[in-house]
A and B are shown apart, each in its own frame.
Chain A
């Protein structure tokens, strides 16, 4: 019955590693549905990871850290919106700049606040994001050895930080926002055909700003879900490439929240596999194993992007007064 144990632990790790990706990927969904390409997610995630860890450390309040992380991501996203929407800059170039600013600023502030160290000081376990359903199945007392195994497996699946559950709730929330509300209809219209929206009196710029800032907030939360839940501090290599993986998951999910979630789970599973295999006595270099999620990204992008169709006006700057 070792397999049950392994499965429980892999699913648990998958969920844990998927959560930060899901936040960030949902951010990408919002921004790109409004027609703003956001490869700056990586930078926004990084600044969120730092802000979350630092604020949680100084205030000893993880939730405050989580919220500030969102605000930090949102602030960086505001820069992206100003560049892309108001000044019609190329979205990719602006995104690259954001990806330099995010980690740079995070490192600078870390050194300033933590006496020149390259990482923030770790949080105590009590001051990380709580795990609400931890051990909930232990209260069920069973004697059958198979059932015990199942309970143990369930325990390792639900041994999750609150941020994981919030991530899945947000998948639903973003889906509802995009497909059931007036704001969502406007966001999607602006990404598909901004001029049509404009002629109907929709404020294209306002909607784009809203979507981009929300996307930064989500990416910031994603960063914090890494730095104050999955681990307990921020360091420079914490978010290496996860923003891009979230972006790939979004494309894999055809720019839809639920699709992005499946993409993130897939990448999370790859990460879970890496962690799990690392714990076994498999004789493969850990550096090679660590490549798995990135290789999967590449394969998926090659296999799926060709057929995927994003919002029609994605990445095109919108200028009001052009015939």
Chain B
């Protein structure tokens, strides 16, 4: 690691404290980053990593503390000052104008102009192309952002920073939205950049990627700095326990399943996507009581449409769905729910919760019209509140306040609210779609234990996830979906990653379709 220049401290943050009202997001945090290093900031959601970086980038003013950039004390009161000091930030939710072209997005705020403020788009395009070549960040300069892949959008974001002359790049959760291939690419890009003298800070809670890319790692827990470690000297388990504050196990403890009768039967299901094309193609599947059936597959092979069809959110063109002996094909979501199926949706913020409602209101979304929550059309808030409090206690939702607005909860706690609500119906079949997406280690552990618990109570769980590790760890049986069909189902104990990966990518599909 000779590329790191230890004499050159490009960033020094000293004693940074940031308070929002009574809440202390950062407490006396120190951070030192040397030129040419990839420095990871590790912490659970809400630990204060992003807050710290927003302070560095001038989006927040620190309550107290000092920032030194290249050895000089700087009052970073606005992003402009940060940009001038050579800092660029790539936000977790991309800050791109969808209707603009790649070039327009890159030059916005620092436009290349000829006379009278007229934009010289050719000159700008050339400049972008040069940068793109120099750092190996391929983009199509004239494409509109809304038409390009997420991976390319991220490269646009990095180019935006480089275009402004950034030497220090802050990447907030750079891999959260990427496919495995794109993740490898971005790690390679980060290494290229540091070889060319740039310094990178990544905010993340993914341990694997820290091990793959970072030189140093600073761990933050509940707003306090725990330690800065050399990544080569620690294991993933060490990092995880520093982050969470206790031992974490990656393996899911579970006993052997007691598999019962078939409870859900899907027979030759055909579903169309939004463009009107068949995307689920005569898919058949049987789910038994007391098992977790995991569906592995790459995004876009019909998973979303399958679960929408099962839960009544999308029309079934042909085929049948039988739940516990009852035909639930094309029933309304409410009827399906009342027949004993519950659903943890893929997008918890859009489909799982009404973000502007309180936790209590979210918890009775499915049963608000029933006794005792409502009597003769009037909601009984006292009963709703005590019901919610009970669930909050049981599922350890934090903060423990049933009047809290759901949108203000962390991702893990939002997911707990959904779990609590769905399970209060005591469903025979639980469909869990991407149940741990975007959650941190502690919350993932919680969700996994919950799903296993559900199975141990003799209920059936259908798990749809793009995280192969998750499917392999949790499932009793694994089905692989490709191009709208289940191409194979295997016993999880006998499954290996390679075979599944091969099937997910369409290997072996030809023989099936013949």
Contacts and interface: CB of A to CB of B under 8 A. Distances in A.
Contact of B99 (A192, A199, A200): A192
Given A183-B117, A185-B111, A201 B59 contact: no
Interface in B284-325: none
A193 B153 CA distance: 15
Q: How large is the interface on B (under 10, 10 to 19, 20 to 34, 35 or more residues)?
A: 20 to 34
Given A182-B113, A182-B119, A183-B117, A201 B98 contact: no
Contacts of A180: 118-119
B91 A192 contact: no
A197 B89 CA distance: 13
A127 interface: no
A321 B60 CA distance: 8
Contact of B116 (A181, A188, A312): A181
Contacts of A201: 78-80, 83, 109-110
Interface string A187-219: 011001101111111100000000000000000
A200 B107 CA distance: 9
A189 B107 CA distance: 11
Contacts of A321: 60
A185 B79 contact: no
A91 interface: no
A193 B98 contact: yes
Contacts of B160: 200
Contact of A193 (B95, B110, B116): B95
B176 interface: no
Q: How large is the interface on A (under 10, 10 to 19, 20 to 34, 35 or more residues)?
A: 20 to 34
Contact of A181 (B78, B95, B108, B117): B117
Which has the most chain B C-beta neighbours within 10 Å: A185, A200, A312?
A: A200
Nearest to B94: A196
Nearest to B104: A185
A200 B116 CA distance: 21
B357 interface: no
A201 B165 CA distance: 14
Contacts of A183: 117
Contacts of B119: 180-182, 185
Contacts of B395: none
B100 A200 contact: no
Given A185-B111, A185-B119, A186-B108, A199 B79 contact: yes
B95 A196 contact: yes
B97 interface: yes
A189 B118 contact: no
B109 A186 contact: yes
B96 interface: yes
B286 to A, nearest CB: 43
Contacts of A195: 95
B87 to A, nearest CB: 12
Contacts of A185: 100, 104, 107-108, 111, 119
Nearest to A311: B99
Given A182-B119, A199-B59, A202-B109, A193 B79 contact: no
Contact of A200 (B59, B98, B110, B118): B110
Interface string B115-131: 01111000000000000
A213 B123 CA distance: 32
Given A182-B117, A182-B119, A183-B117, A193 B80 contact: no
Contacts of A192: 97-100
A34 to B, nearest CB: 13
A198 B99 CA distance: 17
A200 B117 contact: no
A193 B160 CA distance: 15
Interface in A153-204: 180-183, 185-186, 188-189, 192-193, 195-202
A200 B109 CA distance: 6
B77 to A, nearest CB: 12
A107 to B, nearest CB: 40
Contacts of A200: 79, 83, 95, 108-110, 160
Contacts of A182: 111, 113, 117-119
Nearest to A193: B97
Given A188-B100, A192-B100, A199 B95 contact: yes
Nearest to A192: B97
Given A188-B97, A188-B100, A192-B98, A202 B117 contact: no
Interface string B132-164: 000000000000000000000000000010000
A189 B83 contact: no
Contacts of A202: 108-109
Contacts of B96: 193, 196
A58 to B, nearest CB: 36
Contacts of B109: 186, 197, 200-202
21 contacts: A181-B116, A181-B117, A181-B118, A181-B119, A182-B111, A183-B117, A185-B104, A185-B108, A185-B119, A186-B108, A188-B99, A192-B100, A193-B97, A195-B95, A196-B95, A196-B96, A196-B97, A196-B108, A197-B109, A198-B79, A321-B60
| Interchain residue pairs A-B with the least CB separation, the first 5 | A200-B109, A196-B95, A182-B111, A201-B80, A192-B97
